[in-house]
Every structure is written in structure tokens, then in C-alpha cells.
Amino acid sequence: MFISKNNLEVSVLPDSILKKMPSIKSAFKIILCISILISNFNVYAQNQLKALQNAFDRKDTSMLTHTLSDRFSIAGFTDQSAKFCLQQILNRHPVTQIEAVEENSKRLIALFKDDKGKIDSSKIQLDENGRIKQVELFDRLYGVKRAQNPKLIAKIPFENKNGSILLKLTINGHQKPLKLLFDTGADGMALNESVANQLGLLANRTNSASVVGGTQQIKVSEGNFVEIADLKLENMSIAIFPNRTDESSDGIFGNAILRRYITQIDYDKSEISLYEFGDFKYPGDGKLVPITFPSGVIHLKASLSVAGETAVPSDFIFDTGAGYSLIGFRPYVKKHKLLVSGFKSEVSSTTSSLGIVTPTFTGYAQTLRLGSLDAISNFPISLMGGNSANKNWNPGADGSIGVRAISRYNHIINLVDGEIYMSPNKLHEYPQDFLIQTYLFGWNNSGQLLLLDQIGAPDSDKKGKIVRAINGDLSAKIAKNEKLITKYKSTKDKSVLITFEDQSNLTID
């Protein structure tokens, strides 16, 4: 009620309202804080757009140093590659005005007006700090469009060879079908020289290729088309390698499809599915792992502990073209002194990539963690030693994660959004690969135990054979009892009998 006294009106609230005053005050404070945050964000967003406008006016990416996210990308490219793309846009796409029409804490919708009056509406994705992570218009200028409901474009069956993905395809309409290794550690496509000659490919130029341990000059054929299942890829450049030796494939198929489509790799079905870029709904109970794409290949952040020391933050290449679990490149190994910090080398050998030979030391790493995934424990790792071939090598990454780790998950690779969605597959239930002296064993995605490799003897006639039993223990029993594996690894003074499915035997002394 109101009581008038000396011409002043005094408000008197009922007791029931007065008792609720603390909660009312709290609610008011919350509303006030939210209003202030929204107001501050609006001001911040306007400042971001102002900085972007200044960059267009001056054609200078340095104007955006404090405006762009660390994960800023254009058409999937990140880091210096994204900065290069951005500079090209500033130079060639004149924008005279940028105006926000919708704002929230995760994105803006802005209107970009060019010097001819044309207006483009574009979403601007922001990171958790409010910095610009992605501009839809920039992606479109580089040929990437986002669909609200991404459609399935193609399904491609593949042959799974111990985690390596082999694709069947044809080139330039030639009747000869080829078998190529799907290699996410390569930014392009490559053929053995003998195969290229059979197809009549002509080299238009030369290029410098980065390989494990160094670099190599190669020939390149441009303007080719590739047909794979129901998919046709135009204007493909193909590198020609004179000394690539791989009896299981005719060459490698790099990241061409990753740059064009959301790419789902299903090891359980031996199938790749391609979808339009856009607002993709990830299925199941997997986890997202952030990735970058700085120089044509996928990088992901990880932490590695080799011998129980504090885990080292690491930047590894996601490499389906590599047959191992993990290799640490020489500069990384040297910087963190991994070979002399408690690491126990079980066997020493060499790694050869397109003629570049590098010494390696193979043993076990204690833990590897990718993003928010559960840590991988006690798995084989190779560390590079030094020699004249890799003395000045700058690989641009700390190492490479290969298919023996990758194939334990199904993957949805979304390059434009900078993420891989990883879900454990059937192989994930089985133990990690293990060494018995120089022999490497592991399971495939069909649940068969294999002799994967004899380190130092790549031409061993036992390589790839299905193992029936070790010391009389059936492979199914070994898969359920990892203590048996520990026993086999520790019997260095005793022989170990391997029995294969074809009834042949191998004695490891």
C-alpha cells in the first residue's frame, strides 16, 4: 500500500513480499549480470567486425592478430595456410562495409557489402574466447559450401590390410583398375613410375616432396580425372615416384576427398562414406578430437609419456599411410631426449621412405592421449635416431600416428570444422600390438592374430600370416588374457613356438 506523509508517498510492501526479497535481489543480480555480459559481447563483436573491416581496407592480415582464433581456418586450412588464403581474399575481394545483423556468444551473422553494392550474408563462428574461428563467406570463396542437412554423396568399399586402407579406382578412363593406398599423411596423389608409364601420364612440372627423414624431387602430371566407385574427381595432380616400392599398391591417394567432403571411415564395415560439408549430426558415443590442417595433411594434438616421465605435449600427423602405431621424428626425439630418458629399445632398425633411410629404435611407450579420448597404454613406438639424411630435416610435426593406432577407431573427419569424431570399433576390444624379440604381432579388424612384421627383415615369408597359437595358447585365449602376452615378451632366454593357421611353425629363440 502507499501512505502519504508530508506530501511524500512511501511504498510499504507486504511481509510476504519482504520475505522473498533476498531471492528477488539475487534474481535481479543474475539478470543484470547477463545483461551486462550481452552488452559487453555486443561491443566486443562490433570491435571484431571493425577489425575485419580495417583488414579489408588496408589489405593486411596483421590487423587481425588479436581478432582471429588460434584455430582460425579457411576451407579447412589452418595456421600459415589459412593466413595465405586470407591474404588472397583481402587482395581480390573488395569489401566496403561489414554489418552484424544477428549476434550470440558462439556466432555472428554479418552482411558483407562489396564495391559494386553486392551483399553477401555470412555466418561467423567464434571460439570460446569470442575470437573469429571461421567465416562462411571465406569458405565459399574457396569452393566450400555448408549444407543445413548434409547429404550422402558416395559410399566407397575398401580392402583393409592390417589397418591400411586400399581403394580401387581408375584414372583418365583407362580400363586398368588400380589399387591405391588411402594416405592421409600425403597432401596429394602419387603413382609408381612404371604404372604412370602404362597409363601414359605426362609430367608437366617437378616438385619437392617431404618424406620421412628428408625431401625428394618428383615429377608431377596435372589435369587428370579419377573415378572411384560412383565418384568422379576432376583436375587431379598426380606425383610420379621413380623408386617407390610397395607390392600391395600401385600408389597413394592423399587428402583430395577430405578437402571436398566430410569423410567417414568405418573399419567395421570396410567402407568410406562421403557427405556434404555442413551441420553434420555425429552418431553414437564417440568423442571429438580437434585437428589442424596447416600444410595439406591433418595434425592433431596429443600428449605422450614414453617411460613414465611427465607427458610431453605433441603435434602428430594423422597418417593412414603409415603401417606402424606411432613414430617420433628426429627433431622431437632430440629435443625431449626421448632415447636417453628411460626408453628401452627392444630392437633397432631403419625406416625407408622413397629412398630416404633413417635409423629407428622400437620399444614401448607408457601412454598416449589424443584429445579427450582415454589414454592408450603400453603400445609399440619407434623413435628416430640421427644421421646425415635427417640432420637438417624440418618435418613440421613431432611425429606420425599410423594405422595400427588409427584402425582401433571408426572416424568421421570434418576438415572444415577442424575435428575428427572417433568411436572405438571392434578392434578396440583387443590388446595392443606386442613384440616378441624382433617379431611384431597384433590383431586385425576381423579378430585374427597376425604376425605383422619382422623388424629388420621386411621381406620375411612369415609376414602377414594368421597365428593360431603361441606356445600352445590359442589366439582367442590370448586376446582375453594379456598376462600371457607379458609372459611371452619376458621369455628372452627361452624359445617361443608360433603355430600358424596353415599348420607351419616358427620358433623364436
User: Domain extents for the chain?
Assistant: 23-141, 152-275, 287-429, 447-508
> In 3-state terms, what secondary structure has residue 83?
helix
Least confident segment among 242-246, 296-300, 401-405: 242-246
Q: Which of 397, 399, 407 is nearest to 320 (CA)?
A: 407
| CATH number, domain 23-141 | 3.10.450
Q: Do domains 152-275 and 287-429 have the same CATH topology?
A: yes
Tell me which CATH code domain 287-429 carries: 2.40.70.10
Of the candidates 41, 23, 45, 22, which has an alpha carbon nearest to the alpha carbon of residue 33?
Answer: 41
DSSP state at residue 16: H
Contact yes or no for 411/283 (Cβ under 8 A): no
Q: Tens of pLDDT along 358-383?
A: 899 999 999 999 988 999 999 999 99
Question: All 3 cell numbers of residue 161?
Answer: 590390410
List the single range of 20-29, 31-40, 236-245, 263-272 with lowest mean pLDDT.
31-40
Work out the average pLDDT over 18-22. 47
Cβ–Cβ under 8 Å, residues 445 and 160? yes
- Over residues 457-490, the pLDDT tens digits come to 877 889 999 999 999 999 999 999 999 999 998 8
More confident residue, 429 or 245: 429
Pick 152-275's CATH classification: 2.40.70.10, 3.10.150.10, 2.60.40.10, 3.40.50.720. Answer: 2.40.70.10
Degrees to nearest 5, angle at CA 357 with 219 and 197:
25
pTM, 2 dp: 0.86
